[in-house]
Structure 1
Amino acid sequence: MEVPGAGRNRRIGPYALLGSGRTVGGGELFAARTDEGLLVTVTVAGPEPAANPEFRDRLRAAVEAARRLSGAFLVPVVDADADAPVPWVATRFTAGLPLRHAVDRHGALGEPALRVLADGLARALAILHGAGTVHGEVDPDSVLLTMDGPRIGALGLVGATASPPPSPTDDMFGLGATVLYAASGGEQDTDALPASLREVIGGCLYPEPSDRPTAEQLVDYLEHQGLPAPEGGWLPPAVTADMAAAAAAVGSAHAVQVPTPPRPVRAPGTGVSRRNLIISLAGGAALLGGGAAALAFSGDSAPPPEGRAGGLGTTARPTRPSGARTTSAPSPSRSSADGPEPVVLAGPDAAKAWSRTGKRAPTCLEASDKVVMVVTDKATSFMEAASGDRAFDALNTRNSFGANMSTYPTAYADGVFYLLCDAPGQWGLLAAFDAADGKVKWAVNLAASDPGGAKIVSNYGRQYLAASGGTVYVCGVVRDYGRKFSTDNPITGYIRAFAATTGKKLWQVQGTDINNVLVPPSGSRLLAASAIPAKEPGRVQMIDAARKGARGWKVPLRYPSPYYGTGWPMTDYADGHFLFAGGKGDTLSVVDAATGTEKWHQRFEAKNGDLVRMGAPFSSPDGATVYVPIGSDLAALSMADGTLRWVATLDGASDRGGANLFTASLRLGGRHAQCSADTVFATDSAKTLWAIDAATGRARWKYTDSSQPDVGFRWTVGGDRVFIASHLTMTAIAADGR
């Protein structure tokens, strides 16, 4: 192709152009070589912008800013001439393939590669945005795949020279669309996003710019998932082979070298929920009376924007937003300074009531005020809560996988322990043990109640066990053999009910509208939440146990992604009401359990402008107080009207070096917060368990155990004691820490 200003010898400045170029954003991109044989990449501006003097002024300023930027995933600027007949910018040559080329030729990338792609782009944009610059052309053409991660240029011509300039939120939309392109093979089908990225990448594609996460927030989100990095090369072998062939085609020249900094380590408190994040209540709680059950709250009764009808499970093709660009973040309607002063948690180390060492590491725990049930991969044993001594003879029931993010296999109610377990020669049992003597009351084989008779047609995954009101509930996912998941044929969840006295099966319901299930400690009404099926709004709905699982009232949710997973419930119950995250995940909605009528709702905002995403709410045993974890903050609200009572705030860093967060705020499955009569117990990402005075929000004590799993403690509360499992050791701490 003819390159304006290149001359017959195809030179731009001191560089000889190699081969043909390709269009990227606001210019043409070429591999080029100096007379000494060093390789660079040259971007040449088009003739129209080059004729504009303002373009040259903006480019000159952008080049000066870009020269000061460096990062592991940024391609640095090494030379430029904004005053040449045709302006150009040279960057360090980087051997790699454009993302579009790789996807068009080899298909979609897998989940590990997508996570590396999203993380690398977010880290690069965090550096640019932190320096007050914007790239402006993040897309599959400008993103380069290299052997050790993705790359984008430290200077994008569009971001550098456009008038009006693009905003960081436009870059985040581009990042989301780019990752979606790589996940779907170019089809822009959001169903192709893996579960670990669905929420955050979907958030990048929100129509409203202020709703999108920042680059720093995206990095923080991925870090706190704690998923392992891919082993070996991060790209498929076919892509790396193409990469090597492309590098060989350029020639045997040498690339211009500039120092590459190590992977950045962020200072504590610079992530999505900083240590100084102070939540504010936007305008106070709204008390409502007599609303219809089908109404959504906080303005959510309006239909979702086009392409968002099913939350993140739609097949809509996102388009780049039009209209004026904005970088402004939502501001709080009322500062939390108008309410109680935040309490920074600080307290003494707890004194252990007792500690015992066993032969096998516990996989899950459950406790009453008198007895602790300890389950390992070999046996089930019982300990005296007061002393740690053996309470009863051990049983041969076991659970090898135990409690984790997606499974919670124990429950206690009315003097009986319940356990999802195996025994020698028997698998898939639900067993009940008398807490008074440790004897087996009954055990049923759950596989015997699977439909299909002798022919196994479905696998019923058992993710969550609960007991209430004389009934035991097993909840999970139905996996039909030979069935392929799609937006038209999504995951099916189920609820099974058994008589607590005999183990007799009472009823079963299932459907694609059942994902995350809450069983309250009293009453006959359950709450099922769902983010699917796609193309429909998510919802929370009442399941009436007294009517054998009949579906009752329902409330649609425009942003239902917290309820996509099965396992530990992400909703709560208190004083005859259900509590759940509504709005954009920033609003606590409280509805009557019988009718679905909203009692009140409370929206949260961050003083520093961060996006707010509530964790799972939980309540005091008497139902008078509800606790809402949000990043580094824990807010206590009156259940009567949503009045803010106190806010407790974490200080310091997590064990990974980022901001220290309440684990319950991360919306992971599992037990991360509980209450006794006068104490709130909550774990954080520094692997510390806090005991917080329920009346004041001040710390009573703390207990740190670096050997705990990354997703949180193995622990439970029984009476006025906390019981903690750490490898082979069981530890008890009194609620008062003494």
Structure 2
Amino acid sequence: MERLGAGDPRQAGPYTLMGRLGAGGMGAVYLGRSAGGRTVAVKVVRPELAGDGSFRARFRQEVAAARQVSGAFTAPVVDADTEAATPWMATAFVVGVPLQDAVARHGPLPGVTVRTLAAGLAEALTEVHRAGLIHRDLKPGNVLLALDGPHVIDFGISRAADGTGLTTTGAVIGSAPYMSPEQALGEPLTPASDVFALGSTVAYAALGTRLFGDGAGAAVLFRVVNTDPDLSGLPDGIRHLVAGCLAKNPNHRPTPRQLVELVERIGRPDPADGWLPPAVATDVIAARGVLTALPLPDPGPPGAPPATTPLPADPGPGGRPPEDAVPARRPSRRTVLFGVGGGVLAAAGAATTIALLNDRGGRGATAGSTGGSTPSAPVRPSGAEVPEIGPSWQATQPNPCPQVLSADGVVVSVSILNIWGVDDTGRTKWTVDGATVGGAFAIDPTTPRSVAGLDGDRLYAIGGSPTAPELLAFTLAEGRLDWRLPQGRKNAAGVLSFAGIRAGKAYWLGFGDGNDHGDLVPAGTHVWAVDLATRQSLWFHGEDTMLLQSTVPTDDRIVVSDLDQLKALDAKGGTVWERRLAAFGLGTAGRYVLAPDKDGTLTALDPDTGGPAWTASGVVGASKLGDGFATSEDGRLLYLLWRDGDGGCSIGTVDPANGRPGWRTPLPPDSPDAPFLGARLLRADGNLYRMGADAVLWALDPADGKARWKYSGLKGRDATKLAWSAGAGRLCVSDTTTRTITSLPAKGA
């Protein structure tokens, strides 16, 4: 979701527009929220079209017709104003990810998903056609993958363009790779045109490529009209379905109802088993947790100390946590996952529950936010005067590395099936081949996350077979396997994330709760604690829900969270307390657990009781990677990023013992077109590091926040694809898209 720009509307009828979801030829689509809390998708017509009387008349007719569309796989109209100065239409907001994005990120979808997709799209078209509409622009970008099935969006609007000033005789409207031959030729359309688009869309989901290729629109349309695509890569049943949809003669194509029956004959999966692959399902859950959040509040006047509120440390009568720390009845695993198969949807990683924090409604106050008028802009340095440095070295690895670790004499980069040790010149010192130690070290090659840890002269990672995970200890100097410890649980597999090492104890989050549910895959998630000195398991704690985040605040506590609840585990893996809170990133400062919420309020929690100690408002939440907090070496200062009224950020300090704010310094701006990333901070080697949303790296003076040097060599890259770590005199960055490791000198020279 893009933040609102200067040309965007702020209100459509009763709906406050919180951010732009997308745009097209007819207008833009916004995330809207009513005063009563209802979330909708609002399409606002382009101003120049609003003055076209012919367009407005057709728009009225289409809104009236679209109101008749219902069904499980469409987004029905819930409100509209065709007579407004700028007409708009609101539809039910579907929490999902576009099919186009899911395939681009995770590759072709599995067969069971494709079959359900085909049936769902056919059922959606049945409802659209029953209302007398033709979609005319069915394509992967207009299909949302939700937990309850696929949803067709954006129907009816393209038809409003016909016969208006938007088109001329013989013009065609739509997306070339998914048009029917008759649409490409500008001929009259029937519902069969949508069936052709369905076939092309389903083939894209199964193959990951467009059937009629890429290139200039005219060339693609020529192939649509005159050539038969290669369907040999499609599974047998789907190949037959797609071939029928792509008949050049529209009279020879099946109806949507016939397509549903065909999928039933092919073998439609049981919905109770879930239909989305794990990584896509996790993206959907991340979207649900963030895209439905309210806008962040006004952070207050720029340059002013951030608002912090000390709270009573007493947990309540009898030593019990406060009332809101008493949990409601926990939903079952099946309820939490909405029918998505078991706990495997957590496979995309712990931090993805906050994967869309960079999309939350812009930087700074917007219309509808609380706190009064937007404050004036702070005096912000340009950053032009800050020295630019170059890397000490760069190295390209054979595979993407979602984690990089900087240690004395070696930089460790971790991929799915290999671990590399690189020396101070960028040359490979040693390699660990996952095949030789039996397993994978990570689960997603392109999403940065912590899966391995360092302690002394040892590197620790989870390996072993998928059904028999082991803790592996390697020497840092040679990359030699020193020892291994089997987990010994039947229903457990692989690593979700590395929580940390404290007082010689290491903690990992993984898949499976250790209990046999009769599932084909491990269900739920777990925490595994290991004593590194004795090389023995300390405890195993299984959950039937998704444990997505973690932090280790004390020697005998680990705090974990799912989508909306925190839980503290003791030295034996037992539950100490639970607290209802949807935390967007977890951290530790002093003895407190740091938990920011969706509104930018950071709460410090007592690890013994779960009770709040103090809060700070106007905080920039942690990025999807969770590295939004940094502390001084002695633990007496907490560094946070704060929102400013001009859309930029300031760096500042807080006393973690009581929440008392210290200094606050405005930072140079990120590139204006960079998406909002959230906070990414590191503290090491006498520097405070910040990664900007535009992927520019800054070394700041931890005494006052002033910039010492910057590195712009990664500028413009997707910052959510960059893993980083600092220490041993260097800042290291792994770009998972280019497979490049960059080492920067801490001193900047």
The residue aligned with 1:292 is: 315
Does the 8 Å CA contact 1:279/1:604 hold for their aligned counterparts? no
Residue 331 in structure 1 maps to residue 351 in structure 2 = no
For residues 367 and 678 of structure 2, the distance between their equivalents in structure 1, rounded to whole angstroms, comes to 30
For residues 470 and 455 of structure 2, the distance between their equivalents in structure 1, rounded to whole angstroms, comes to 18
Residue 108 in structure 1 maps to residue 73 in structure 2 = yes
CA deviation string 1:56-101 (max 9, x = no partner): xxxxxxxxxx998247xxx775159xxxxxxxx7235887995564
Deviation of the 1:483 alpha carbon: 6.2
For residues 276 and 98 of structure 1, the distance between their equivalents in structure 2, rounded to whole angstroms, comes to 44
Q: Describe the shift of the 1:258–1:613 C-alpha distance in structure 2 as closer, same or farther (beyond 3 A).
A: farther
CA deviation string 1:247-267 (max 9, x = no partner): 5899x999431238999xxxx
The residue aligned with 1:635 is: 651
Unaligned runs of 5+ in 2: 1-12, 15-43, 136-155, 168-172, 176-293, 329-334, 339-365
Deviation of the 1:676 alpha carbon: 0.7
CA deviation string 1:106-136 (max 9, x = no partner): x235xxxxxxx7xxxxxxxxxxxxxxxxxxx
The residue aligned with 1:601 is: 615
For residues 507 and 735 of structure 1, the distance between their equivalents in structure 2, rounded to whole angstroms, comes to 39
Does the 8 Å CA contact 1:587/1:603 hold for their aligned counterparts? yes
For residues 345 and 223 of structure 1, the distance between their equivalents in structure 2, rounded to whole angstroms, comes to 34
Does the 8 Å CA contact 1:392/1:438 hold for their aligned counterparts? yes
Q: Describe the shift of the 1:358–1:707 C-alpha distance in structure 2 as closer, same or farther (beyond 3 A).
A: farther
Q: Describe the shift of the 1:283–1:343 C-alpha distance in structure 2 as closer, same or farther (beyond 3 A).
A: same
Structure 1 residue identity aligned to 2:419: T
Q: Describe the shift of the 1:526–1:353 C-alpha distance in structure 2 as closer, same or farther (beyond 3 A).
A: same
Deviation of the 1:696 alpha carbon: 2.1
Q: Secondary structure at the match of 1:90?
A: helix
Alignment of 1:617-656 (within 5 A): 617-620=628-631, 621-629=633-641, 632-639=648-655, 640=657, 641-649=659-667, 651-653=669-671
Q: Which residue of 574, 579, 597 maps to 2:594?
A: 579
Q: Which residue of 452, 455, 463 maps to 1:413?
A: 455
Structure 2 residue identity aligned to 1:476: G
Structure 1 residue identity aligned to 2:592: H
Deviation of the 1:572 alpha carbon: 0.9
CA RMSD of aligned residues (A): 5.4
CA deviation string 1:493-525 (max 9, x = no partner): 321112213542221112357623423376221
Deviation of the 1:710 alpha carbon: 5.7
Q: Which residue of 708, 733, 742 maps to 1:724?
A: 733
Q: Secondary structure at the match of 1:496?
A: strand
- TM-score using structure 1 length: 0.55
CA deviation string 1:21-44 (max 9, x = no partner): xxxx99xxxxxxxxxxxxxxxxxx
Does the 8 Å CA contact 1:343/1:697 hold for their aligned counterparts? no
**Greater Rg by CA:** 1
Residue 91 in structure 1 maps to residue 58 in structure 2 = yes
CA deviation string 1:129-178 (max 9, x = no partner): xxxxxxxxxx6255xxxxxxxxxx6x435x679xxxxxx9xx99x65xx1
The residue aligned with 2:574 is: 550
Q: Secondary structure at the match of 1:520?
A: strand
CA deviation string 1:189-233 (max 9, x = no partner): xxxx45x69xxxxxxxxxxxxxxxxxxxxxxxx999996999999
Q: Describe the shift of the 1:472–1:279 C-alpha distance in structure 2 as closer, same or farther (beyond 3 A).
A: farther
For residues 162 and 399 of structure 2, the distance between their equivalents in structure 1, rounded to whole angstroms, comes to 56
Q: Which residue of 721, 726, 729 maps to 1:712?
A: 721
Structure 2 residue identity aligned to 1:733: L
For residues 645 and 225 of structure 1, the distance between their equivalents in structure 2, rounded to whole angstroms, comes to 45
For residues 395 and 78 of structure 2, the distance between their equivalents in structure 1, rounded to whole angstroms, comes to 60
Deviation of the 1:476 alpha carbon: 3.1
The residue aligned with 2:164 is: 257
The residue aligned with 1:236 is: 121
The residue aligned with 1:433 is: 474
Residue 591 in structure 1 maps to residue 605 in structure 2 = yes
Q: Which residue of 478, 481, 500 maps to 2:532?
A: 500
Does the 8 Å CA contact 2:315/2:321 hold for their aligned counterparts? yes
The residue aligned with 2:425 is: 387
CA deviation string 1:342-398 (max 9, x = no partner): 5555533222223345555545322223322223455333223x4334545655556
Structure 2 residue identity aligned to 1:290: A
Deviation of the 1:402 alpha carbon: 5.2
Structure 1 residue identity aligned to 2:636: A
Residue 140 in structure 1 maps to residue 77 in structure 2 = yes
Does the 8 Å CA contact 1:281/1:603 hold for their aligned counterparts? no
For residues 90 and 349 of structure 1, the distance between their equivalents in structure 2, rounded to whole angstroms, comes to 57
- TM-score using structure 2 length: 0.54
Q: Secondary structure at the match of 1:349?
A: coil
Q: Describe the shift of the 1:707–1:413 C-alpha distance in structure 2 as closer, same or farther (beyond 3 A).
A: farther
Does the 8 Å CA contact 1:381/1:394 hold for their aligned counterparts? yes
Q: Percent identity?
A: 17
The residue aligned with 1:736 is: 747
Residue 687 in structure 1 maps to residue 701 in structure 2 = no
Structure 2 residue identity aligned to 1:464: F
Does the 8 Å CA contact 2:603/2:615 hold for their aligned counterparts? yes
For residues 592 and 484 of structure 1, the distance between their equivalents in structure 2, rounded to whole angstroms, comes to 39
Structure 2 residue identity aligned to 1:330: T
Unaligned runs of 5+ in 1: 1-24, 27-65, 81-88, 110-116, 118-138, 143-152, 162-167, 181-192, 198-221, 264-270, 305-311, 316-325, 452-456, 532-537, 563-569, 606-611, 666-671
Does the 8 Å CA contact 2:722/2:733 hold for their aligned counterparts? yes
For residues 567 and 134 of structure 2, the distance between their equivalents in structure 1, rounded to whole angstroms, comes to 60
Does the 8 Å CA contact 2:528/2:539 hold for their aligned counterparts? yes
Q: Describe the shift of the 1:527–1:389 C-alpha distance in structure 2 as closer, same or farther (beyond 3 A).
A: same
The residue aligned with 2:47 is: 69
In terms of fraction of residues, the more helix-rich structure is 2
For residues 586 and 225 of structure 1, the distance between their equivalents in structure 2, rounded to whole angstroms, comes to 32
Does the 8 Å CA contact 1:76/1:91 hold for their aligned counterparts? no
For residues 400 and 455 of structure 2, the distance between their equivalents in structure 1, rounded to whole angstroms, comes to 25
Does the 8 Å CA contact 2:296/2:599 hold for their aligned counterparts? no
Q: Which residue of 544, 562, 566 maps to 1:530?
A: 562
Q: Describe the shift of the 1:334–1:327 C-alpha distance in structure 2 as closer, same or farther (beyond 3 A).
A: closer
Q: Describe the shift of the 1:247–1:680 C-alpha distance in structure 2 as closer, same or farther (beyond 3 A).
A: same
Alignment of 1:39-438 (within 5 A): 69-70=47-48, 78=53, 90-92=57-59, 101-104=68-71, 107-109=72-74, 140=77, 155-157=81-83, 178-179=92-93, 193-194=95-96, 236-240=121-125, 243=128, 246-247=132-133, 255-259=162-166, 284-292=307-315, 328-331=368-371, 345-346=383-384, 347-376=386-415, 379-384=418-423, 386-392=424-430, 396=436, 399=441, 401=443, 405=447, 407-421=449-463, 428-438=469-479
Q: Which residue of 674, 678, 681 maps to 1:673?
A: 681
Q: Which residue of 566, 573, 591 maps to 1:540?
A: 566
Q: Secondary structure at the match of 1:604?
A: coil
Q: Describe the shift of the 1:614–1:732 C-alpha distance in structure 2 as closer, same or farther (beyond 3 A).
A: closer
Q: Describe the shift of the 1:438–1:502 C-alpha distance in structure 2 as closer, same or farther (beyond 3 A).
A: farther
Deviation of the 1:313 alpha carbon: 7.4
